[in-house]
Amino acid sequence: MENFVDIKTCFGSNNDRTIESLLSLYNDNSFLQNSILDLLMRHLKSENFENKKVLLKPNWVKHSVYEYDEICLRTNDNFLLALLEVILKFKPASVLIGDAPIQGCKWHEVVTENFISRVESLSNQYKVSIKIKDFRRVIFNPIQNSPIKDRSPLTDYVIFDLGNDSYLEPITSSKKNLFRVADYNPDRLAESHGPGVHKYCITKELFEADIVISVPKVKTHQKAGITAALKNLVGVNGDKDYLPHHRVGGVEQGGDCYPGKNRLRFWSELAVDFANRHQGTKLYWVGRKISSAFWYLSLPKKNENLGAAWFGNDTTWRMVLDLNKVAIFGLADGTISKNPQRQLFSLCDGIIGGQGDGPLKPEPMPLGIISFTNYSGVNDLAMATLMGFDIQKVAMLNEISRSTKNKKIDVYMNSELTDLKKLEQFSYSAKVPPGWENYKNSL
């Protein structure tokens, strides 16, 4: 099979490219199914699904909190259900729908009773077993300070160690543990990532599936620039103790949390570490209050924070590319093959995307596209181009652009062969995340 990115626009003219017009398409099941069927059947056959185990991996990052979350935060329910019904018509052996959202996600508010009922109805109609699974091992609500650990046994996962082949190895300190992920004990993360050691905790379902389709929501992302096909694979990792998102300290201190160096901010970070080491106890609150005090005294600007949510984040994109390597080359015994072990497909929900403070607080973006691909990296170059990003100025995209320079990947727009440059005529100028205002001056 040729490597491809196949994009369909969902608007006739820019006058139709509005939130109101595009939102109505999510309620048009005929449009959704026909569009998805057309994209899939241009590259696959019914035999790819018949009697096969199918894994669907949506973006279920978090429950709704803000006004527009239902339309731009997660993979749209109707979009996902339309894909599910298209696949069911090809008589698969079974379907599993699963994701590992953030630790504070209220699962029952994402996977609602209505959604479950509709899935069960399709299961009965097509006589195919369909399961829905939360891949997380740990749940933690910072507001309630109530960690729930080991929800699933470690035997439900495969541990991979990429060692020196990890994208993280070039930025790994040999003297101290700098890697961090919000609301997790840094000591646990140090057990997974250090010089020559880079471990990930991947759900077994990935290796048991015959065909995997990731179903991301196309959005901007505070730490990586954008989230689409590549970033959505983070949800197959079941324990975020294995997921470095940034490095503690400023750039001049060997970290990437903020520019330069700042003693007060560094102390604020250390207080956060103290809090996360004492989750579930009163000391957690002591650490958080001390952290807030130091952070306030550091006189932060409105777009600054302690989560490395800016264009200088040099950690998250490396972790994302590591996970994509594991997902494609990983074997069920925890080793990495030299040859691809499976094809990962992505069907991107970009009818209404997310812009601004993504991935958790996005605003609706009338992107108006659906894309299907078997090559996540170039797909995301296309998505970024359609969102008006300078792909050479976004670290993850710049690396993909460099590594795919001599590879043949067919890019289609509305069934016609094209290229990334020509996609610019369909671009929408997305609002960049806070901390990314000056990203074009980077790299």
- 132 DSSP 8-state letter: E
Give the C-alpha separation, 116 to 192, whole Å: 35
The two three-digit tokens of residue 429, written as one number: 């100028």
Does 190 reside within a domain?
Answer: no
| Helices marked H in 299-410 | 316-329, 376-386, 395-403
Asked whether residue 59 carries a pLDDT value surpassing 80, the answer given is yes
At 392 the pLDDT is 95
Instruction: Please say if the pLDDT value at position 398 is more than 80.
Output: yes
- Find the domain containing 232 and state its range: 4-136+204-237+315-441
Domain count for the chain, please give it: 1
Phi, psi of 39, deg, nearest 5: -65, -45
243 in a structural domain: no
22-36, 294-308, 389-403: least confidently modelled range: 294-308
Q: Is the pLDDT confidence value at 126 over 90?
A: yes
Q: Exposed (0-12), middle (13-18) or buried (19+): which is 414, by Cβ within 10 Å? A: exposed
The answer to whether residue 401 scores a pLDDT higher than 70 is yes
Model confidence at 302, pLDDT cuts 50, 70, 90, reads: confident
Q: Is residue 16 part of a domain?
A: yes
Within 13 Å and on the Cβ side, how many CA atoms surround 146?
5
Give the Cα-Cα-Cα angle 47, 51, 53 (nearest 5 degrees).
Answer: 105
C-alpha–C-alpha distance, residues 218 and 232, integer Å: 9
What does the pLDDT look like over 359-395, one tens digit per residue?
999 999 999 999 999 999 999 999 999 999 999 999 9
| Helix/strand/coil for 256 | coil
Beta strands 197-203 and 53-58 are unpaired
Q: Report yes or no: 331 and 341 within 8 Å, Cβ to Cβ.
A: yes
Residue at 425 is within a domain: yes
Residue 245 confidence (pLDDT) above 80: yes
Tell me how many degrees the CA angle 86-120-231 measures, rounded to the nearest 5: 60
CA distance 351 to 5: 16
Residues 6+ apart with CB under 8 A from 119: 81, 84, 97, 130, 132
Q: Does some domain include residue 281?
A: no
Burial profile 278-289: b = 16 or more Cβ within 10 angstroms, e = fewer: bbeeeebeebbe
Q: What is the pLDDT of residue 443?
A: 66
On whether residue 147 sits in a domain, the answer given is no
Residue 169 lies inside a defined structural domain of this protein: no
Give pLDDT tens digits for 189-216: 999 999 999 999 999 999 999 999 999 9
pLDDT (mean) for 38-51 = 97
Once rounded to an integer, what is the mean pLDDT over residues 267-277? 96
Looking at the domain assignment, is residue 247 inside a domain? no
The pair of structure tokens assigned to 357 is 């403070």
